[in-house]
């Protein structure tokens, strides 16, 4: 099945679908780098951070965590031309968080390259959503007194989207003991100096809640995190993911979504998609409900997968933009949004980390919550209905590609 001819971003052929396809990526590519070599060694890593390194993932499995490592093949370090920083900044929704002169002075450092990537991702996605909806994002710049700041782009009560948010943050400072404890609980051994752990964290995150229940909710985040230990060495991680949470199963949407991300993963290693999908299915398990939040997850290399955000989601939006729906279908959407809220507030590690970090901007952290949701006491859909079909997939995740 082909993409809608009105799709303005890129021509795609896609299987039609709108399903409870959750494809999230919780991945962390960790590289220890001695402080004296951090600048030069960072240049060996493209956004995906793949050169003869071990890819380490730490993901939740019910009440405990697994660590898995996969050796990557040695590949030549290839840097694509990233263009003039000033020219690239002109296409952003707002000037970057870091002063442009500073970015130009350290244009080859990994943190600069990552900040440019997340700013470009924000701009590309916002402009694509504005094209669909006809509305405009409110651009809200904010500063963190402890160091850094961010740019929140939000569109509410639009024609297609009830709430759409795309955030960028670039913050630095010292990790609190609570934040460090959360990281250690996931298997990370971190030793600070005089009780302090200097860090730099940046990322782009988005959650889109459409009005039409036949258009899935989408979420993505791509991020870079770095800490400096007492001996001056640094640990750094790249992470991120894209996930789709449909209200009704549409297998063609599910296939399109998973295949788009699988293709991105396969460019780096054929085993990334199957391995990380299994891990992330476990991460997105809502234990108190016995359900996954969506219908599948996959490892995402930051640079490759950040570029799939528009092509993996916008064709699905256009496909269902004018679908009719009933009040009963809208009510089911509200119930499913309630589950989405439960996961974000009870289990989501990004929310927990943000709330434990001094100076965090609460409005941006909770941007992921929908404008409206619904909780019904002991709600269970009738057997044989599309709602029951959706719930079955959430309780028993399946392979889509």
Residue closest to 206 by CA, chosen among 29, 364, 373? 364
Q: Of 32, 64, 66, 219, which one is the catalytic site residue?
A: 219
Chain center to CA of 62: 21
Can you tell me the distance from the alpha carbon of 344 to that of 165, in angstroms, rounded to the nearest whole number? 15
DSSP 138-152: EEEEEE-TTSEEEEE
- The structure tokens listed for 325 are 């729906």
Chain center to CA of 358: 22
Q: What torsion do the CA atoms of 294, 221, 357, 146 make, to the nearest 10 degrees? A: -160
Can you tell me the distance from the alpha carbon of 141 to that of 95, in angstroms, rounded to the nearest whole number? 9
| Helix axes of 309-320 and 110-133: crossing angle, nearest 10 degrees | 10
Q: Which residues of 211-310 form beta strands (DSSP E)?
A: 217-228, 234-245, 285-286, 291-292
What DSSP character marks residue 165? Answer: E
Can you tell me the distance from the alpha carbon of 49 to that of 51, in angstroms, rounded to the nearest whole number? 7
320 is catalytic: no
Can you tell me the distance from the alpha carbon of 247 to that of 294, in angstroms, rounded to the nearest whole number? 9
Contact assessment for residue 241 and residue 280, using Cβ atoms and an 8 Å cutoff:
yes
- Residues with a catalytic annotation lie at 219
């Amino acid at each position: 099945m082909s993409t809608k001819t009105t799709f303005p971003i890129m021509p795609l052929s896609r299987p039609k679908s709108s399903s409870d396809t959750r494809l999230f990526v919780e991945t962390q590519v960790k590289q220890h780098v001695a402080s004296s070599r951090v600048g030069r060694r960072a240049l060996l890593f493209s956004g995906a951070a793949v050169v003869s390194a071990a890819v380490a993932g730490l993901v939740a499995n019910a009440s405990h965590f697994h660590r898995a490592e996969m050796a990557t093949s040695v590949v030549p370090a290839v840097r694509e031309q990233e263009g003039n920083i000033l020219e690239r900044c002109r296409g952003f929704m707002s000037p970057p968080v870091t002063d442009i002169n500073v970015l130009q002075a350290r244009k080859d450092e990994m943190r600069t390259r990552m900040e440019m990537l997340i700013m470009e991702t924000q701009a590309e996605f916002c402009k694509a959503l504005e094209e669909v909806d006809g509305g405009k994002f409110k651009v809200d710049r904010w500063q963190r007194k402890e160091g850094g700041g961010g740019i929140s782009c939000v569109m509410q009560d639009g024609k297609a989207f009830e709430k759409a948010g795309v955030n960028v943050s670039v913050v630095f400072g010292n990790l609190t003991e609570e934040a460090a404890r959360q990281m250690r609980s996931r298997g990370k051994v971190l030793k600070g100096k005089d009780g302090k752990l200097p860090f730099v964290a940046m990322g782009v995150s988005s959650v889109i809640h459409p009005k039409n229940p036949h258009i899935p909710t989408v979420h993505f985040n791509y991020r870079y995190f770095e800490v400096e230990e007492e001996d001056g060495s640094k640990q750094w991680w790249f992470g991120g993911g894209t996930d789709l949470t449909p209200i009704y199963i549409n297998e063609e949407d599910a296939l399109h979504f998973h295949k788009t991300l699988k293709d991105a993963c396969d460019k780096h290693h054929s085993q990334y998609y199957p391995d990380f999908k299994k891990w992330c299915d476990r991460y997105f398990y809502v234990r108190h409900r016995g359900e996954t939040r969506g219908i599948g997850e996959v490892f995402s290399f930051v640079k490759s997968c950040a570029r799939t955000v528009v092509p993996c989601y916008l064709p699905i939006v256009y496909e269902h933009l004018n679908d009719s729906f009933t009040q009963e279908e809208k009510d089911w959407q509200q119930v499913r949004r309630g589950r989405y809220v439960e996961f974000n507030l009870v289990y989501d590690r990004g929310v927990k980390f943000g709330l434990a970090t001094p100076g965090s901007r609460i409005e941006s952290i909770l941007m992921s919550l929908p404008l409206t949701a619904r909780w019904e006491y002991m709600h269970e859909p009738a057997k044989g209905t599309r709602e029951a079909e959706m719930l079955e997939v959430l309780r028993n995740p399946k392979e889509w590609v």
